[in-house]
């Protein structure tokens, strides 16, 4: 049984709280504001952080300095990775960040990497990434779409960077990001040439998969130290 502190926004907070309680865990605090700075979270086993890119780093600092391991679903702070890595080591806690906690999406990541490695031998195909989310999603493109794009870039020689938009530039992988009402999250990768088109996609039916994955990640971190990823949980 875990004692969790959460910093959550909108529907994800309510959903994570419900799933955690249903799985027998205790929620010590739920903060709906953007930061934990003024709060005492030292009694928690694990913190679950879903906030905004502007707040995430301070929340990670607060958690690690309080001796509390943390699951982080917010993106946009990875350029500060070295700083966070030092905090985790210094305060002897555990960290599990992910661009997406859905088990299905993480399986999709593995399929994406494998397909990209195969397509690297077929230079006539052009690849594109497309993502669709609800209008409340603040980051664009999504962290999931960026992860997908980076996997393709790492496996296909002709790409060296990604760019949001539809304009085609040599060496650049395009990410098209759309915002529509009530779309939990859809991600698609296509490969197309003059002969045919290959596509793979993941479509979330609701947000439960993301929330459940975050709770499973928190359960995994109990009594652990160091930095982990969803691959450590799913064991590909």
**Residues taking part in catalysis:** 133, 137
CA dihedral angle for residue 194, residue 177, residue 110, residue 168, rounded to 10 degrees: 40
Neighbours of 70 (CB within 10 A): 29
Contact 162, 172 (CB under 8 A): yes
What token pair was written down for 192? 């197309």
Beta carbons of 82 and 42 less than 8 angstroms apart: no
Return d(Cα 202, Cα 211) in angstroms, integer. 16
Q: How many whole angstroms separate alpha carbon 226 and alpha carbon 94?
A: 5
Distance CA(221)–CA(72), nearest Å, equals 12
Q: Which two tokens stand for residue 169?
A: 């530039």
CB under 8 Å to 90, separation ≥6 — which residues?
64
What letter does residue 215 receive in the DSSP assignment?
H
Measured CA to CA, the distance from residue 110 to residue 231 in angstroms comes to 10
């Amino acid at each position: 049984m875990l004692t969790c502190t959460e910093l959550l926004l909108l529907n994800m907070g309510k959903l994570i709280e419900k799933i955690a309680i249903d799985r027998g865990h205790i929620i010590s605090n739920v903060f709906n504001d953007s930061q934990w700075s003024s709060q005492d979270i030292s009694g928690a086993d694990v913190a679950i952080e879903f906030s905004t890119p502007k707040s995430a780093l301070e929340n990670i600092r607060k958690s690690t300095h309080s001796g509390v391991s943390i699951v982080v679903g917010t993106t946009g702070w990875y350029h500060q990775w070295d700083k966070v890595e030092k905090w985790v080591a210094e305060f002897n806690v555990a960290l599990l960040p992910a661009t997406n906690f859905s088990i299905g999406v993480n399986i999709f990541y593995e399929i994406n990497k494998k397909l990209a490695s195969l397509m690297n031998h077929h230079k006539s195909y052009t690849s594109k990434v497309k993502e669709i989310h609800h209008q409340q999603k603040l980051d664009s493109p999504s962290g999931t779409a960026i992860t997908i794009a980076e996997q393709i870039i790492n496996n296909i020689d002709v790409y060296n960077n990604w760019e949001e938009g539809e304009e085609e530039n040599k060496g650049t992988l395009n990410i098209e990001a759309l915002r529509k009402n009530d779309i939990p999250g859809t991600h698609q990768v296509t490969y197309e040439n003059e002969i045919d088109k290959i596509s793979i996609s993941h479509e979330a039916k609701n947000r439960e998969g993301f929330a459940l994955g975050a709770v499973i990640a928190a359960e995994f971190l109990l009594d652990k130290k160091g930095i982990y990823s969803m691959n450590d949980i799913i064991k590909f």
